[in-house]
Every structure is written in C-alpha cells, then in structure tokens.
Structure 1
C-alpha cells in the first residue's frame, strides 16, 4: 500500500530541510494519490526535474520511485519550468516540490 501524497510530501520536505537543503511546496495536488514532481535547483544556472518512475520500473512494495525527466544530468531552470507547465496542462492534480541545494542532492529513490 502506498503512502498518501500529502503525507509523503510533508515528510520529504522535512527531510530536505533536516539535511540542510531549502525545500518548499510550490503546488498542492490531490491529497491521496496526486503524482509528485520535484524540481532541484543547484542555484548555479542548472536544475533537474524528477517525476514518478514508469509503473513497469517502479518498486512493487508501494514505495515512491522517481526518474529524471530529461536525458542530460542538468538542464536550464527555464527548461524545467517549461516541462512543469506542460505537465500541469496534462495533470492538474500534480504536486510540485522545489529543492534548492548547491550540492545537487535530491534525497529521492531513483530509477537510473
């Protein structure tokens, strides 16, 4: 069974803050099952965008697993915002969390 999106987002934001990264909730989505997206800004003109991993690659335990949503390791923050806007048109129930961390730490379980 998967943890509700609102509980997961709250715990994730607390973890980021505890680790010394700035973390904010930019958009609240559907409380129980909204898809969660994370924008990571390194504050040096580079960013990364993470979203739910494809179901075929996700952990069957119910844990939330993420994938980077672009091929390059880092993209321009404006490109990340364009991708976010496109996703919002497709999924208005999505959550958006933003992390600012100069070290590029995301604290997510990733599918590489």
Structure 2
C-alpha cells in the first residue's frame, strides 16, 4: 500500500484545518506525487512552530501510509528562524511543499512522532 500523493494529503489537511476554523494556505507547491511536506504554524505573536517529516524510524509498521511529523526545533521560535530553515530546505530539495497555518492556540491537527 502506498502513501497518498502529497497534493491530495495537503488538500485534505487544509480542509481539516479550515473545518476547525484555522486558516491555512499552500505557500509552495512541491512535487505532486511525493514531495516532502513542511508545516509552519504561525502563533500570530511573531513566533512559530515548524513541523517536518519524521524520520522513517518513527513510522508505525501497522500504518505505513500515514504521514508523521516532528517539531523542529522542539519549541516555537522567531518566525525569521523558521523562514531561514525553509529557504535552506527549498534550496536542498526543490520538490518540498510548504504549508502555513495560523492559530494563536497552537492547534495543528498533525500526527506527531512518538518520542
């Protein structure tokens, strides 16, 4: 069983956010099929979280098709720090997707890797 195409996953993720009253948008379209997805969660106070694809070791063998994320860094930081990281990711891999959501309460609706 293969994982959902990135474009379909992103569309479904944004619908989920919007159904909860959280604004979200695609900032950068990546590879339709399998581009990595990075999610920036702006807290609307000048800081943000960045959620990146979790390493393969974090995936549950019983549910290999799901996308799992991990915060990087592990706490909110100044938005400029996140933007610099995203610029590096794009220069390293032009196929990445960047999705940005905004929520003061920090809700993200992502499956996070178990630590």
Alignment of 1:65-84 (within 5 A): 65-71=68-74, 73-84=75-86
* TM-score, length of structure 1 as denominator length: 0.95
RMSD: 0.9
Alignment of 1:14-93 (within 5 A): 14-60=15-61, 61=63, 62-71=65-74, 73-93=75-95
In structure 2, the partner of 1:98 is: 100
* TM-score, length of structure 2 as denominator length: 0.93
Aligned-pair CA distance for 1:103: 0.7
Runs of 4+ in 1 over 4 A off after TM superposition: none
Structure 2 CA distance, aligned partners of 1:29 and 1:90? 13
Structure 2 runs not aligned, ≥5 long: none
Structure 1 CA distance, aligned partners of 2:13 and 2:109? 8
Structure 1 runs not aligned, ≥5 long: none
Structure 1 CA distance, aligned partners of 2:31 and 2:91? 15
SS of corresponding position for 2:35: coil
SS of corresponding position for 1:20: coil
Structure 1 CA distance, aligned partners of 2:71 and 2:82? 11
